[in-house]
A and B are shown apart, each in its own frame.
Chain A
Amino acid sequence: EIVMTQSPATLSVSPGERATLSCRASQSVNSNLAWYQQKPGQAPRLLIYGASTRATGIPVRFSGSGSGTEFTLTISSLQSEDFAVYYCQQYNNWLTFGGGTKVEIK
């Protein structure tokens, strides 16, 4: 099983600031990496797939990078609606998820 590790567990950021979230895979997943946003009581929402391609309707302030085992999600200027939990997911070998990063208001 491919283990996905996200850091940090919690990120405190002020509105308008940049947020950088990390995700590491225990073995290469090529570019088969997705990022999701989840708000309380809601299903996860796909943000990024293929490590760097924004899903339909996702604002340009969300960007993804990386390949192999190291990946990053960057939110360039945090808006109030961006405070949520973010998960990375590898889909190179079935599916596994990281433990999540909670982005909270500083």
Chain B
Amino acid sequence: EVQLVESGGGLVQPGGSLRLSCAASGFTFSSYSMNWVRQAPGKGLEWVSYISSSSGTISYADSVKGRFTISRDNAKNSLYLQMNSLRDEDTAVYYCARRGTHGTTDLWGQGTLVTVSS
């Protein structure tokens, strides 16, 4: 089955760190660029970060630049998001999403909830 499964979410204090993982299966992970997209409770969708298939191109939203780091391990079919200096406003469900052949995000995981609170 073609799927993405996120993990690593949880409760963290402001200023803390968390590492999210996304496990891909059912397709050739190394051939696809990937994104992280988040959704604050009751709010809309916000793109967070992008990484190309070979990790040669990486980009971040201004809201997380300098605090978050995206990476991938094609041998392990896995995508990661290292989140440092977390703020209350980073509280959200974080989705990993595949960039499909047509350029848009055609496959999404079920999401993992990150709560930043003291």
* A91 interface residue (CB < 8 Å to B): yes
Given the interface pairs A94-B50, A94-B59, A95-B35, the reply to whether A46 lies near B105 with Cβ below 8 Å is yes
In the complex, per-residue mask of B83-95: 1 if CB is within 8 Å of any chain A CB, else 0: 0000000000001
* A49 interface residue (CB < 8 Å to B): yes
* A64 interface residue (CB < 8 Å to B): no
CA A89 to CA B97, docked complex, whole Å: 13
Within 8 A of A (CB), among B7-61: 35, 37, 44-47, 50, 59
Q: Contact at A43–B47, with CB atoms within 8 Å?
A: no
CA A89 to CA B46, docked complex, whole Å: 10
Pick from A43, A96, A100: contact of B108, CB under 8 Å: A43
> How many Å from the CB of B22 to the closest CB on chain A?
12
Within 8 A of B (CB), among A20-46: 32, 34, 36, 42-46
* A55 interface residue (CB < 8 Å to B): yes
Interface size class of A (residues with CB under 8 A): 20 to 34
Pick from B44, B62, B102, B111: contact of A97, CB under 8 Å: B44
Residue of A nearest to B95 (CB): A43
* A87 interface residue (CB < 8 Å to B): yes
Residue of A nearest to B4 (CB): A43
> How many Å from the CB of A25 to the closest CB on chain B?
14
Within 8 A of B (CB), among A59-106: 87, 89, 91, 94-100
Q: Contact at A34–B44, with CB atoms within 8 Å?
A: no
> How many Å from the CB of A33 to the closest CB on chain B?
9
* A50 interface residue (CB < 8 Å to B): yes
CA A50 to CA B104, docked complex, whole Å: 9
B103: which A residues are within 8 A, CB to CB? 32, 49, 91
With most chain B CB atoms within 10 A of its CB, the pick from A43, A55, A96, A100 is A43
Q: Which residues of B contact A (CB under 8 A)?
A: 35, 37, 44-47, 50, 59, 62, 95, 100, 102-106, 108-111
